[in-house]
Amino acid sequence: MSDLGERIKEIIDSEPVALFMKGTPDFIACGNSARALEALRAVGAPVTAIDVLPDPQIRAELTSVSGWPTIPQVFIGGELVGGADITEELYESGELVSTLDERLGSGWREAARQEKVIDLVEGGQPFRIVS
Amino acid sequence: MATGQIEVLLRQAFPAALDVAVADRTGTGDHFQVSVTSERFNGLALVDQHKLVYDALSELLEDGTIHELRIRTKGT
């Protein structure tokens, strides 16, 4: 697997909630990415957002890791939840909260909500965390 | 018209489906809403249900016929 693929796997495995999206939480570039992010925000989930737009390789590597062809992609506790449709559907049914509880333990509810942005490709610096 | 193609592919992938619906969501001919009710989804997590739909439509997604796809799946 390439370096980028390894880094993507690392993020998925180590972040409680990883959202691969188009744009960033402050500059959302696509309605479906917005839907997924808003559902996660609505339940107070921590979110680590990764923008796939800077490099087409990000999408390609992500899809080969997840088997999911589109963006956004939501991972909770290292496991793919799905895209915008599923995340919204789970939010509406209450299952988004129970999925978070099951995979993260209930500690996420009391913790101060954190939204992180990980920049995968930044002019030579491959991995930078910006809070 | 792509909605027809999509319905054919879905009916092939889910031959016993109770319901297959395809709509052009935005009127631009490339954003689609599909819903499928099939026993093939029984016992599967939503992510795996949707993956079956993506598999059925993979060529149209790859060649750009489908630019955006919204999916609703239901078991029986």
In the chain, the amino acid numbered A117 is V
Q: Would you tell me the crossing angle of helices A56-66 and A3-14 to the nearest 10 degrees? A: 60
Strand (E) or helix (H) holding A79: strand A79-82
Question: Measured between beta carbons, which residues in chain A are less than 8 angstroms from residue B71?
Answer: 85
ipTM for the assembly: 0.94
Nearest CB neighbour to A82, from listed B47, B58, B61: B47
Query: If residue B23 lies in a helix (H) or strand (E), which one and from where to where?
Result: strand B19-24
The pLDDT of residue A122: 66
Q: For residue A126, what pLDDT is reported?
A: 44
Residue A130 pLDDT grade (very low, low, confident, very high; cuts 50, 70, 90): low
Q: How far apart are CA A27 and CA B12, in angstroms?
A: 40
Cβ–Cβ below 8 Å for A81 and B51 = no
Q: What is the pLDDT of residues A27-84, one digit of tens each?
A: 999 999 999 999 999 999 999 999 999 999 999 999 999 999 999 999 999 999 999 9
pLDDT of residue A83: 98
Q: What is the pLDDT of residues A9-36, one digit of tens each?
A: 999 999 999 999 999 999 999 999 999 9
Which chain B residue shows the shortest CA-CA distance from A74? Answer: B47
Contacts of A70 in chain B (CB under 8 A): 54, 61, 69
Q: Are B53 and B11 in contact (CB under 8 A)?
A: no
For the cut 80, the answer to whether the pLDDT of residue B71 exceeds it is yes
Distance CA A39, CA A52 (A): 19
Q: Which chain A residue shows the shortest CA-CA distance from B72?
A: A85
Question: Residue type at A95?
Answer: E
At residue B1 the predicted structure's pLDDT band, cuts being 50, 70 and 90, is confident
> What phi, psi does B70 have (nearest 5°)?
-105, 135
pLDDT at A112: 87
The 10s digit of each residue's pLDDT in A103-127 is 999 999 998 889 999 988 764 444 5
Smallest CA-to-CA distance from A69 within B33, B64, B74 is with B64
CA-wise closest residue to B6 among B51, B52, B65, B62: B65
Residue-wise pLDDT for B28-51, tens only, equals 999 999 999 999 999 999 999 999
- Partners of B70 on chain A (C-beta within 8 Å) are 84-85
The single-letter DSSP state of residue B34 is E
Distance from CA of A29 to the nearest CA of B (A): 14
pTM: 0.93
Q: If 0-12 CB within 10 Å is exposed, 13-18 middle and 19+ buried, where does residue A18 land? A: buried
Q: Choose the mutation target among B28, B50, B62 for the interface with A, i.e. most A CBs under 10 Å.
A: B50
